[in-house]
Structure 1
Amino acid sequence: MEVIRGLHNLRDKHRGCVATIGNFDGVHLGHQKVLEQVKNKARDLGLPTTVIIFEPQPREFFGGDAVPARLTRFDEKVRLLADQEIDRVLCLPFNEQLRQMTAAEFVESLLLEGLAVQHFVVGDDFRFGCDRAGDYAMLCEVGHEQGFSVEHTLTYTVGEERVSSTRIRKALAEHDFVLAQALLGRPYRITGRVMHGQKLGRQLGVPTANVRMHRFAAPLRGVYTVSVQLAGRPLANGVCNIGLRPTVGGTRPVLEVHLLGFSGDLYGKLLSVEFKTFLRSEQKFDGLEQLKSALFTDIKAAKDFFLSQNSSGRQA
């Protein structure tokens, strides 16, 4: 899959496609239904598929810190779209220049000149342009004039409710990983590279792998049992903390995972952390000894959980 960053990197070879546009946060089952529409039409027309996304997402540009946490970072989203066998992803930087585009300018520069879209799949509630003049009806009208067709996205439901990123965030906030998996079509995971940290866990006898979060604000906060994969293969079960680490004066969210029964060098490796159960909320302890005691309690709880899972599996 090809990733194109910005309109200025579009070339003649990118013209002529079936496209869709959106945040695609989580690439959940609802998104996958839209991508299926795109792929089916592209197959009929013999054209490549293009997914248009924004970075940052528009709500992040306008809302700053007062926006919902993301389900997926940019690189995770790209990997998930590749898994859906999309040909191209066009990432538009949502900046002041893009914000000031009128709907007509947006259509001209992106859909007509940039991509020469032949078919466009878009939600009938999609609005765009600084003048807010861009909507489904406007796209249909321009498409009729310029020779491209427009199709509205289909709604996908689970349990008689629409699948959405908001609904998944709510499920995660309530620690309902079963529902989150049903909406995503896969277990909820956070993927990132292991970076060097303060090595405080090692000093306390609980070595951890610190997964790089950058500016990503996860929709989870607290201590969880997890299963960890490396290069798509099972690595180890473990216990994970996502939070600010208030006991040691942390100020930025960090994902730290202790792998049960594992020893080895993971620095620079890409780990995928799959969340199983919620153990407790993050809290500030009165010193490192209390923190250490809590960590060993968490580890015991995680071991008990996975032991019970293994026992249930053998009984089945």
Structure 2
Amino acid sequence: MKLFTDWRHLSGAPQHAAIALGNFDGVHRGHVYLLEQLRKACPDCPLGVLTFEPHPRVFFRPQDPNFRLMGAEERLNALSNLGVEFVVQIPFDEPFSQFSAETFVNEILIGALEVKQVACGADFAFGHRRQGDVAFLENTLKAHGAGLTVVSPLSDSNGPISSSRIRRLLQEGYPEQAAVLLGRHWSVRGIVEKGNQLGRLLGFPTANIALRSLLEPARGVYAVRVRHPDGRVIKGVANIGRRPTINDGNEESRLEVHLFDFDEDLYGKILEVSFIALLREEKRFNGLDALKAQIAKDATQAREILG
């Protein structure tokens, strides 16, 4: 898959393509459905995605807590796995935030990309102060001989499948339900960093991974599956939180993963940790012995869940 990060220089980008517009955070089942409808509308067109980095919400509301379901690299990998042939990832900065809706369509979609078909959700809004809507997009594209596919949200019995709904489920401690909407288990991918090695002293060595700009799910202990860089998938138990027993919770939340039946050096390696089930909420224990005993129980329960 080809990646373009400057819409002004798209040498090598397919022309007359079918392009889906959106943030695609999580690349969930609703996003998959949108891409499927676009493919049906223009089956012989190269399939592309136009998205933004950072997420516009990060640009406009930098004080908000981290909310991303995945990083930019993980998003690209997920789109590639769905058969997307190229991605135009526009830097969402101050100059771009001032683009009018007309400029966005005429200069990027028509001028730079020469699109043949575009797809978006029914509530898609764009341009300075969100002045552009679906009706404007359709009329402007039509004037240049291009088409628009407006895709209604994919829904289940609880409503539309959306990134915000998945975030809420993860924050409330329901990774199994989030996985149904995502079409896969939610995961955190990151580099293993050196910690204080307290887990090793307790008999449960852990790999420490920063959450970076990702959403913090419900704090607590999870049954997880971990993908090693060599492709192995290893079962384990993980904690996300501020370790109140160790330091009264006076630190940023971190992800600590104990891999079952595993004793290899992981420092500097990139692991992908998939969250299968929440075992219990974060709590403070009366000393390290009580914490060690609980970790042993957590590990036993995680093994049972993971099979």
Amino acid in structure 2 at the alignment position of 1:17: A
Distance in 1 of aligned mates of 2:5 and 2:292: 42
1:304 matches 2:298 = no
Label 1:132 to 1:309 Cα distance change in 2 as closer, same or farther (>3 A).
closer
Q: 1:26 deviation in Å?
A: 1.0
Q: 1:160 deviation in Å?
A: 4.9
Label 1:308 to 1:112 Cα distance change in 2 as closer, same or farther (>3 A).
closer
- Which residue matches 2:23? 23
- Which residue matches 2:135? 137
Match of 2:130, SS state, is coil
**Could you tell me whether the CA contact under 8 Å between 1:239 and 1:299 is conserved in 2?**
no
- Which residue matches 2:165? 167
Amino acid in structure 2 at the alignment position of 1:294: L
**Could you tell me whether the CA contact under 8 Å between 1:49 and 1:86 is conserved in 2?**
yes
Higher percent of residues as helix: 1
CA deviation string 1:133-156 (max 9, x = no partner): 311111111112111111101321
Distance in 2 of aligned mates of 1:235 and 1:292: 30
**Could you tell me whether the CA contact under 8 Å between 2:50 and 2:87 is conserved in 1?**
yes
Label 1:236 to 1:79 Cα distance change in 2 as closer, same or farther (>3 A).
same
1:109 matches 2:107 = yes
Distance in 2 of aligned mates of 1:193 and 1:63: 27
Distance in 2 of aligned mates of 1:139 and 1:265: 53
After superposition, residues 88-237 of structure 1 pair within 5 angstroms as 88-231=86-229, 233-237=231-235
Distance in 1 of aligned mates of 2:191 and 2:9: 28
Q: 1:215 deviation in Å?
A: 2.9
- Which residue matches 1:275? 275
Q: 1:187 deviation in Å?
A: 1.9
**Could you tell me whether the CA contact under 8 Å between 1:29 and 1:163 is conserved in 2?**
yes
Q: 1:217 deviation in Å?
A: 3.3
Amino acid in structure 1 at the alignment position of 2:259: L
Q: 1:250 deviation in Å?
A: 5.6
Label 1:261 to 1:300 Cα distance change in 2 as closer, same or farther (>3 A).
farther
CA deviation string 1:193-244 (max 9, x = no partner): 3233333323443211122433333334222121212248443222211223
Match of 2:25, SS state, is coil
Unpaired stretches in structure 2, ≥5 consecutive residues: none
Match of 1:59, SS state, is helix
Distance in 2 of aligned mates of 1:133 and 1:122: 16
**Could you tell me whether the CA contact under 8 Å between 1:236 and 1:260 is conserved in 2?**
yes
Q: 1:83 deviation in Å?
A: 1.1
Distance in 2 of aligned mates of 1:242 and 1:9: 42
Amino acid in structure 2 at the alignment position of 1:254: R
- Which residue matches 1:5? 5
Q: 1:25 deviation in Å?
A: 1.1
**Could you tell me whether the CA contact under 8 Å between 1:217 and 1:253 is conserved in 2?**
no
TM-score, L = length of structure 2? 0.89
Q: 1:128 deviation in Å?
A: 1.1
Amino acid in structure 2 at the alignment position of 1:83: N
Amino acid in structure 1 at the alignment position of 2:291: A
CA deviation string 1:20-64 (max 9, x = no partner): 111111111111000112233342xx3211111111111111112
| CA root-mean-square deviation | 2.4
Q: 1:109 deviation in Å?
A: 2.2
**Could you tell me whether the CA contact under 8 Å between 1:60 and 1:67 is conserved in 2?**
no
Distance in 2 of aligned mates of 1:113 and 1:205: 61
**Could you tell me whether the CA contact under 8 Å between 1:189 and 1:274 is conserved in 2?**
yes
Q: 1:178 deviation in Å?
A: 2.7
Alignment: residue pair count? 305
Label 1:14 to 1:148 Cα distance change in 2 as closer, same or farther (>3 A).
same
Amino acid in structure 2 at the alignment position of 1:252: E
Q: 1:308 deviation in Å?
A: 6.0
TM-score, L = length of structure 1? 0.87
**Could you tell me whether the CA contact under 8 Å between 1:59 and 1:67 is conserved in 2?**
no
